[in-house]
Structures are given as C-alpha cells and as structure tokens.
Structure 1
Amino acid sequence: MNRTLGSWSLAAVALFGSFVAQAQDESDAPASKGRHLVQIGVFHVDTLDSSTPLRSHIQPGALAALGVQSDFTSDTTNKVGSSNTLALIYSYFLTDNLAIKFEGGIPAEFKLYGSGVVQPTGPLGSAVAVDLGSPDFNPLAKVTQWSPAILLQYYFRDAQEKIRPYVGVGATYTWFTDIKADEDFKNALNTRFGATLAAGNGKLGQSTTVDAAAADDLAPIFNMGVSAELSDRWSLSGSVSYTLLKTTANITIDAEDGTRLATSRTKLDLNPLVVAFVLGYRFDL
C-alpha cells in the first residue's frame, strides 16, 4: 500500500512538474509578430436592410393609347433573410499587435422576400398587377453571395496575454451568383406582364422570359471582437462585423426575339451584421 502510494506521489509530482514546464514554455512563447493564424468556424449573417420602391420601365407599344405609361413606381418593399455559413480565415501578424486578415468561406445563400403590388398605370393596370407579397411567390428569389474580405486588425494588450480584444477595418468586394427567381413568381410575370406587353408591341403569341440580376459592390467593413488563448497554438475568437453593403436588383422581361419589354429595379441597402465564432491555430513558417 505504501509503495503504491509512493508511486502515485512520484507520478503526481512528475505530472505537476510537466504542467509547470509547459506553462513556462508557453509563457516564454515567442511574440505574435511573424506568426500565422488560421481559423475555422461559423458566420451568422443578419441583414439590417432597407429598399427603395420598385421602379419600372416598360415598352407599352399600342397599350399607350389605353393610358399605360412607360415609367411607373410601385409601392413595394424587399427584405433579405438571415444566413449561416462556414468561415475560413487567415491572418498574418505584422507586429505583436497588428495583423492583416483575409476572410472567406463557403458563400452564403440568402432568400429575398417582397411585399406590395406591382401595377402599371391605366385601366389595364389591375388586370396585369402582380402581388409581391403573395405567399405563393415568397421567397421571391434565392441568391448566393460571395464576399471575400481583407482587414487590418489591432490587438490590444501584450502578445502573451490570454485574453486580447481587437478592432479592425477593411473592405469586401461582393458579387452575386445563382440567382433563382421563384417559378410561380416568374410565371405570373410572364403570363400577366410579359404576354400583355408582347401583344401591345406586335409580338402576339411570342413567349417571354424573366431574368434577375444584382450589382456588385465594394464596401467597407468595421470589426470588433475578442480572442481567448487556449495554448500557445490554439485559440477561440468571437467577433461582430458591420458592412455598408449596397446593391441594385434588376428584373427584366424579354420577348422571344430578344426585345426588352420591361425592366424593374430596386436599390437594396443590405448592411449585413456578421457574428463569427471561430477556432484558431497559430504557427510559424
């Protein structure tokens, strides 16, 4: 019994000694300058969005005689839903307190929702009106957003501190792909707007097509967060970023022969608020 107790005591002393040695090694760890940091985690994106009313320009053709004007504005609004996606981040420490960061990951998918009625002027207006808020049409569209970003970050406190707040500023270039309008929404635009405008322009019986697009944008990013060191290599970080992101969304209707029958656009202030939680690994090359 005493021999066993003595063995456990020696093992405990040795284990304690190893923890002390590890702590000393970590406390003497090199400063952050020149080190690389890779992080993986989750982005949660909420858009603090607003939109302008939908403005439309159409080719009324013979319908102009019935009071259908070529330009009109509809009392509509659009809203973008939230999204979650994988975050991939790389940082390089220029000094103990200053780092340059590149953010990427899997592009986020967003859903666009609408409300209000698109209705041309004149007696035919109500006949071809489309309700953007109809449950059959929403979400109106789905879109994939690409937003790679570069930021310059300042870390407060000494490099050996376990908890380090930071702030950052940078920019992102954003573009949109895989824009898919709801099929019921597209069908309503084709059968009401498209067919009527085609007939008014001497293209009776021609099919029409609906396309959607969104403009690219270069936008500033403001970031703040805190990093908690788990060891010399591993860390956890949580942050919040705000981006002044804007885009213009366009919906077009074309006749079968390529004639542009209608263009509708709205300006969207997306202004995404991004919350990130990431696990990081720091290394030297």
Structure 2
Amino acid sequence: MQILTRSLVACSALLLASPGAFAQKAGDTILGLGVAVIAPRESLGPVTSTGPAAPAFNAATAGATASIDPVATVSLSVLHMFTDHVAAELTLGVPPRLDVDVQLRSGNHPRAVSVKELTPALVAKYLFYTPGDTVRPYLGLGVTHASFRDVKINPSDPLVGRLAGTSVSLSSSWAPVYNAGLIYNINERLSINASVSYIPLKTNATFVGTGTTSTTRLKLNPVDYVVRLGYKF
C-alpha cells in the first residue's frame, strides 16, 4: 500500500512538472495578456475633390501616397477549446494611434492625419498535435470589424488645414483575419502564445475643408505580430 501511494504521488508530480500536461484540451478557457505590434502595409487611392475649390485640390493631391509606421499596443484575448483541436479566440487591444504621413509631389506632410484604430476579432483555430505536447502550432481564420475614433489632422500644415479643416472621417469596415502561430506550454496553467495575422483592411476617408469635399480609399492591410502570456482556467 505504501509503495502504491508513493507511486501515485510520483506520477502526480511528474504530470504537474511536465510542461505540456493536459494543455489546451476540450473545455479549457485561456485568458491572454501581451503585446501586439501592428505593421500596416498601406496604400492610398486617388484623392477626388468636389466643390468650388476642387480643381486646385485635385491638382495638388494628384499622385498622393501615404505611409504609416508600425505601432505597439496591449493585446487581450480569450481562447476557448471546443475540442482538443478546435478553438475560438476573441481578441481585443488597446486602440493604437496610427499616424498617417502623406507624400505629394510638392513635398511631404508628416502626421497629416492621426487616428485610433479599434479592431476586435473573432478567430477560429485548429491546433495541431495533442493536449499533452509542449508546443502546439495552429492555423486560424476569422473576421474583424474595424472602426476609427478620435481622428485628428495636423493643424500646422496649411494644405492639410484647407483640405480637411472642417472634418475628417474614416468608414468602419469588416475584414477577414488570416492567422498562424504556436503555443508553448510552460506548465499545465501557463503558456506563451505567439502569432502573426494578416488583415486585408480598407477604409474610405472623407475630408471636408475650405470650399471642397475630398474622398479617397485607404488600404491599411496590417500584419500583426502578437505575443501573449496565457493562463488556463
């Protein structure tokens, strides 16, 4: 009996010490907290202006391009395992501020527009290997609804002020999320989730200025790099 007891204790200790012991099995819910780096792959469509001042603005903005630097933000997630391999993950981050630099033939316009981007996403995932493995790669496919808040222009730029001095708006939109990553199980409760996502995201920008209303199509197409520490309940 004493030998059996010792054996059970030893087995239990071994399971608890095993990095992948019963990780990501059916019914588990994992909360994640980490950092996301958002790297837009932006492009700007033709700027079309209407109104009394439209000819001057159309000439000034012909061939305009845009650039947006990568930004980092806090990322939160809830991952639920429906089976040992199929899961769904809801992600939400602190809205990062994107600074849009505009380049024209007449010169550069840094931080012409800045905006906070909110992109909650729901992604279905398929996890490979088994719940007992230390490393579990996965593929995911989902959807996000992007909305834009607190849109600002650079008031010190004369052209930007004339082009968008009255108001600026960016339309909300739905976009697919293509996701791949892996989970490294530290122990039964803790894990590290690293992933990369591509989101073909587009928005319509409308600028109302002095004597003109201008519209353009802005493609953000971000690649998101995310690392989170997960805790399983």
Q: Scaled by the length of structure 1, what TM-score is found? A: 0.72
| Equivalent residue in structure 2 for 1:149, among 113, 121, 125 | 121
Cα separation, partners in 2 of 1:51 and 1:71, compared to 1, 3 Å: closer
1:230 equivalent to 2:186? Answer yes
1:86 equivalent to 2:98? Answer no
In structure 2, the residue matched to 1:218 is: 174
Query: Which of 1 and 2 has greater Rg?
Result: 1
In structure 1, the residue matched to 2:38 is: 45
| Equivalent residue in structure 2 for 1:54, among 47, 50, 53 | 47
| Equivalent residue in structure 2 for 1:280, among 224, 230, 233 | 230
Relative contact order (alpha carbons < 8 A, sep ≥ 6): 1 or 2 greater? 2
In the TM superposition, what whole-angstrom CA distance separates every residue of 1:95-137 from its partner, at most 9, and x where no partner exists? 00011100002111100000115xxxxxxxxxxxxx5x44xx4
Q: Tell me the distance in 1 between the aligned counterparts of 2:87 and 2:98.
A: 31
> Secondary structure, in 3 states, of the residue corresponding to 1:22?
helix
> Secondary structure, in 3 states, of the residue corresponding to 1:24?
helix
Considering fraction of residues, name the structure with more helix.
1
Count of residue correspondences: 224
> Secondary structure, in 3 states, of the residue corresponding to 1:178?
strand
Q: Scaled by the length of structure 2, what TM-score is found? A: 0.87
In structure 1, the residue matched to 2:15 is: 24
Considering fraction of residues, name the structure with more strand.
2
In structure 1, give the amino acid aligned to 2:51: I
| Equivalent residue in structure 2 for 1:95, among 55, 65, 83 | 83
Q: Which moved more, 1:48-57 or 1:145-154?
A: 48-57
Cα separation, partners in 2 of 1:70 and 1:47, compared to 1, 3 Å: closer
Cα deviation for residue 75 of structure 1 reads 2.1
In structure 2, give the amino acid aligned to 1:34: G
C-alpha root-mean-square deviation of aligned residues, in Å? 2.6
In structure 2, the residue matched to 1:168 is: 140
Equivalent pair of 1:59/1:70 in contact (CA under 8 Å): no
- Report percent identity of matched pairs: 25
